[in-house]
Amino acid sequence: MKKEKMKVRPQRTYKDTLFRMLFQEKKNLLSLYNAVNGTAYSDMENLEITTLENAVYMNYKNDISFIMNFELLLYEHQSTVNPNMPLRHLIYVTKVLQGITRDADLYGSSLVQIPTPRFVIFYNGIEDQPEQKIWKLSDAFEKKLESPELELTVTMFNINFGQNPELLNTCQILKEYARYVSKVREYAEKMPFAEAVETAVDDCIRNGILADFLLKNRAEAIEMSIFEYDEEKHLKNEREYAYKEGMAKGEKIGIQRGEKIGEQRGEQKGKIEGIRIMSFILKCSNQGESRERILKKLREAYSLSQEEAEIYYTEMERSMV
């Protein structure tokens, strides 16, 4: 007997992006799914879009969510590195599952089956990242456990042109998208960004890169590309401000701690060492390093005891509040 699908009606009312617009088409999305999973499915009717209405829950939006092969897939495009994606996906997938099980008897004696959740990020920012990276929800846990009772794993693929060639070659539309982004950045080094986008669009159309899509959606594609750039620039400015503010606080704490170390060790370099350590912690934190990893690096880099490393880390956390 064929299992009946539980329906969630998709509707997007938020500001769209080029990635979302490309892969809202089932044909393209199925190709992307096949590329990620090494499969060769061809029946688009087996793919069910489940992206939430309004696509926003508690200010967290998801690019695409869909059910395929008894799996619930959450695909996200990111141009900035964000170690909080496991938590964001946890919040979002909970809402999606609420919709999927709306008519199920969760208090009954029968097991309510749900599609297996899987989480993927497609990254094409300018920061250097490996071809593939794993983010874990447990990295954010304040108390570390060998076997956490709640875990969520997100796989990040670097889709910048030249990265993950097997993945890009398997999904032609993803490869062309990566090439388009590469051309926009190439032209942006020579001319104002709005002009760079228009030039890149014309170039891609001439060379058969997303040609049909760009011919049909030229104005919208240009608008979305400029919007994404402005949004990325805004987030970058916010991060830089937060970083500078954090550095100032870290330097203050570093001086205080450094003076104490200097007194304890009888060394003039204690003050400078304190500043360096605080800067080191801040840098690692901004890169998404876990607390455990940062403490380990501190012990190795500065010959600190576990207690000393924890004192520095705790004081840096307090300075950021």
Structure tokens that stand for 164 in this block:
């993950």
Sequential pLDDT tens for the chain (321 residues): 344 444 443 333 335 689 999 999 999 999 999 999 999 999 999 999 988 755 444 444 568 999 999 999 999 999 888 889 999 999 999 999 999 999 999 999 999 999 999 999 999 998 899 999 999 999 999 888 999 999 999 999 999 999 999 999 999 999 999 999 999 999 999 999 999 999 999 999 999 999 999 999 999 999 988 887 765 554 454 455 455 555 555 555 555 555 555 555 445 455 566 767 777 887 787 777 788 888 888 888 888 888 888 888 887 776 655
CA-closest candidate to residue 197, choices 187, 212, 182: 187
User: What three-state secondary structure class fits 148?
Assistant: coil
Structure tokens that stand for 115 in this block:
């599609």
Report how far residue 289's alpha carbon sits from residue 203's, in angstroms, rounded to the nearest whole number: 40
pLDDT for residue 87: 94
pLDDT for residue 285: 76
Are the C-beta atoms of residues 98 and 58 closer than 8 Å to each other? no
Nearby residues of 159 by Cβ (< 8 Å), 6 or more positions away: 122, 123, 124, 167, 168, 174, 177, 178
Q: Write down the H helix ranges in the chain.
A: 18-23, 26-37, 85-100, 165-170, 172-188, 193-206, 211-216, 218-265, 270-286, 291-302, 306-320
Cβ-in-10-Å burial (0-12, 13-18, 19+) of 231 comes to middle
Structure tokens that stand for 300 in this block:
């190795």
> pTM for the full model?
0.69
Report how far residue 74's alpha carbon sits from residue 94's, in angstroms, rounded to the nearest whole number: 12
